A and B are shown apart, each in its own frame.
Chain A
């Protein structure tokens, strides 16, 4: 059903009884042209673009739990395109363009809010590095503004400019960066895919692959065998396990990343602010909660929960950078499992098994990538070719040395 002002009025006046299910609950068919494993943001957007852009209709998305329950449902909602390295530059640039039109595209309000993302620099070296980043973003066609200390003060006067540990030297602002309502992104893609005939099958866990002669034939699931012409893995956090069922070993470790939200308070923070030296970033949601996060906890984990050292660290960072938040209260913390790849950048590629495709290794960049990753993965699965904006996310780059290391920390996932 199309959402419109008229629908809102009509339903509002008739007790809101006329709204239809946003997606169906179909029974799995015997086989599909394409099976996507994972009903998170990426899996759902992949299905959407396969159906919409490539006209493939016989598609299933198999989700172990509930739709949108992966990292799309447990992140800090930031959307930006201010990466540094070739490969990431064009990818996130494309993603941001898709974001900007997503509400119209999906007829679903994902509440993209381009409030501006500010990254702080704390010394001359960081300032130069930020200039490099900003110039690269501008050269890619994205926006960037390099700000001196006084410009930053004008924008965010509540930061501690007097005695913060690590003085504020300046910053790089991307005005088109911001936040989006994370769950709505998953639901919007799910709705769009469902409307185009994609079967979204919840509570359906993939238990194994059927591979014959080096080619994928289908998947064994908790709801029986499902045949498939092509299978795409889009299972952030569990990529290693799913790939292992196909005999693959990947350059990925799983780590836990915590995120936090405070009780709602009246608006005080307009932008997304990231404090590099403190490994801390924060924004304020439309509901009023301060949403913030830090680094991964630093050790392999599948536990979806974090520990106190990182909780305390991010709060300490908040207190040195913006001591006005001291009297807000942290309401909830949660953890998500990150596919930490060995160079900090993702993989969208074929695998050695014919017909089996991989979308993974997103580290903590997966949310903002949701539109472009789905579109690129769909393009790859439909055409067998890399999409223009995702040509460098190759699985073999670790063998060849064409790594994309935005942080420059090497094969140490917990340092990315």
Chain B
């Protein structure tokens, strides 16, 4: 008689929609509010109308990893830069947007 395949599955260390806030720790996503693409970090200060059209309206809208901005509104108010797969909802990276921006500078 055929037996079921081996059951032991590698446990993936991830949060799917549980967000590891750098300040507050692991929380349900209902504590956070989504803004949109992390592209919104790159405001074209001093740019022209075309640059703002792109910034405000146009989105890559990928099916895989999306880099995006969430705010911990029911927690520390921090804005977070999150890498999330928008098909599986797996979150692979959470950083403070502030830090990211300062490093880039």
Q: Taking the complex as formed, is B30 at the interface, i.e. its CB lies under 8 A from any CB of chain A?
A: yes
Instruction: Tell me if B68 and A299 are in contact (CB < 8 A).
Output: yes
- One of B3-11, B81-89, B94-102 at the interface: B81-89
CB distance from A409 to the nearest CB of B (A): 12
Known A303-B87, A414-B34; judge A309-B29 contact (CB<8 A): yes
On whether the beta carbons of B36 and A303 are closer than 8 Å, the reply is no
A222 interface residue per 8 A CB criterion: no
Complex CA–CA separation, A294 to B15 (angstroms): 25
Task: Let me know if A300 is at the binding interface, CB within 8 A.
Answer: yes
* Cα–Cα, bound, A351→B84 (Å): 30
Chain B neighbourhood of A298, CB < 8 A: 33-34
Task: Report which of B56, B60, B86 forms a contact with A302, defined as CB distance below 8 A.
Answer: B86
Q: How far is it, in angstroms, between the C-alpha of A413 and the C-alpha of B28 when the chains are bound?
A: 22
Q: Is the CB of A300 within 8 A of B61?
A: yes
1/0 contact string of B28-66 vs chain A (CB within 8 Å): 111001111100000000000110010011111111001
A309 CB to closest chain B CB (Å) equals 4
Cα A265 to Cα B35 with chains together (Å): 39
Q: Which residues of A contact B62 (CB under 8 A)?
A: 240
The B contact surface, by secondary structure, is: mixed
A contact residues, range:
20 to 34
Residue of A nearest to B64 (CB): A302
Nearest neighbor of A254 in chain B, beta-carbon distance: B61
CA A251 – CA B61 in complex, angstroms?
9
Q: In angstroms, how far is the closest chain A Cβ from the Cβ of B59? A: 5
Given A298-B33, A298-B34, A309-B29, A252:B89 Cβ within 8 A: no
| Nearest CB in chain B to that of A399: its residue | B53
Q: Which residues of B contact A411 (CB under 8 A)?
A: 56-57
Residue B24 CB within 8 A of the other chain: no
**Closest B residue, CB atoms, query A411:** B56
Is A325 positioned at the interface, with any CB of B under 8 Å from its CB? no
Contacts of B37 in A (CB 8 A): 253
Q: Smallest distance from the beta carbon of A229 to chain B beta carbons, Å?
A: 28
Docked complex Cα distance between A307 and B16 (Å)? 11
Contacting pair A301 B89 (CB below 8 A)? yes
Contact between A342 and B66, CB atoms less than 8 A apart: no
Q: In the docked arrangement, what's the CA distance between A301 and B49, Å?
A: 29
Q: Which residues of A contact B35 (CB under 8 A)?
A: 412
Q: At the interface, yes or no: B17 with Cβ under 8 Å from chain A? A: yes
Q: Complex formed: what's the CA distance from A251 to B57 in Å?
A: 5
A241 touching B56 in the complex, CB below 8 Å, given contacts A300-B68, A302-B87, A309-B30: no
Interface size on B, residues (CB 8 A): 28
Residue contact A398 to B30, C-beta cutoff 8 Å: no
* Residue pair A307, B17 in contact (C-beta under 8 Å): yes
Choose one: B34, B56, B68, B88; the contact of A342 (CB below 8 Å).
B56
Which residues of the other chain, B, contact A98 by a CB distance below 8 angstroms? none
Q: Which of B33, B49, B50, B59 contacts A252 (CB 8 A)?
A: B59
CA distance in complex: A308, B89 (Å): 14
| A300 interface neighbour in B29, B49, B57, B86, Cβ under 8 Å | B86
Q: Which of A240, A307, A414 contacts B61 (CB 8 A)?
A: A240
The answer to whether A250 touches B36 (Cβ under 8 A) is no
Whether A249 lies near B56 (C-beta < 8 A) is no
Query: B88 near A251 (CB under 8 angstroms)?
Result: no
With a cutoff of 8 Å between Cβ atoms, the chain A residues found around residue B89 in the complex are 301, 303
Q: Chain B: which residue is nearest A341 at the CB level?
A: B57
A402 to chain B, nearest CB (A): 13
B60 contacts which chain A residues (CB < 8 A)? Answer: 240, 249
Q: Mark A304-346, 1 if CB is under 8 A from B, else 0.
A: 0001110000000000000000000000000000000010000
**Least distance between B64 CB and chain A CB atoms (Å):** 9
Give the CA-CA distance A300 to B57 in the complex, in Å: 15
Assess the A253–B59 pair: CB atoms within 8 A: yes
B57/A253 in contact, CB under 8 A: no
A: residues with CB less than 8 A from B are: 240-241, 249-254, 298-303, 307-309, 342, 398-399, 411-414
Q: Residues of B with Cβ closer than 8 Å to A? A: 17, 28-30, 33-37, 49-50, 53, 56-63, 66, 68, 70, 84, 86-89
Having A300-B68, A303-B86, A308-B30, one finds 11 other A-B pairs with CB under 8 Å, namely A240-B61, A299-B34, A299-B70, A300-B66, A300-B86, A301-B86, A302-B87, A303-B89, A307-B29, A342-B59, A414-B34
